[in-house]
Amino acid sequence: GLDGVFALGDAAAVPDLTKGEDAICPPTAQHAMRQGRIAADNVLATILHQPLRPYVHKDLGLVVDLGGHDAVSRPLGINLSGLPAQAVARGYHWSALRT
């Protein structure tokens, strides 16, 4: 990396510190949102000459709403499809909305 340059989300190959050398975080909204919080903290830390925090995050699974009654999700490693997966996917997306 370069000093003073921050990149995150699907625009960057962010190292996945939980999985070892050469592993990168999936380019998902789940990771991008959390990377954004750490990046913002690290920009402020840079300005204040404080130590930077590494991005370490446990993957909570995935959710994909395919429209209609079709969806797949894997919350905490539990495979779901159809209406149960759609409920999880929509619940996650609704909870992520900013007010």
Query: pTM of the full predicted structure?
Result: 0.70
Spatial separation of the C-alpha atoms in residues 74 and 85, rounded to whole Å: 8
Q: What is the pLDDT of residues 5-40, one digit of tens each?
A: 888 888 898 888 988 888 988 888 888 888 999 999
Residue pair 27/10 in contact (Cβ under 8 Å)? The answer is yes
**39-82: per-residue pLDDT in tens?**
999 999 999 999 999 999 877 888 899 988 899 999 988 999 99
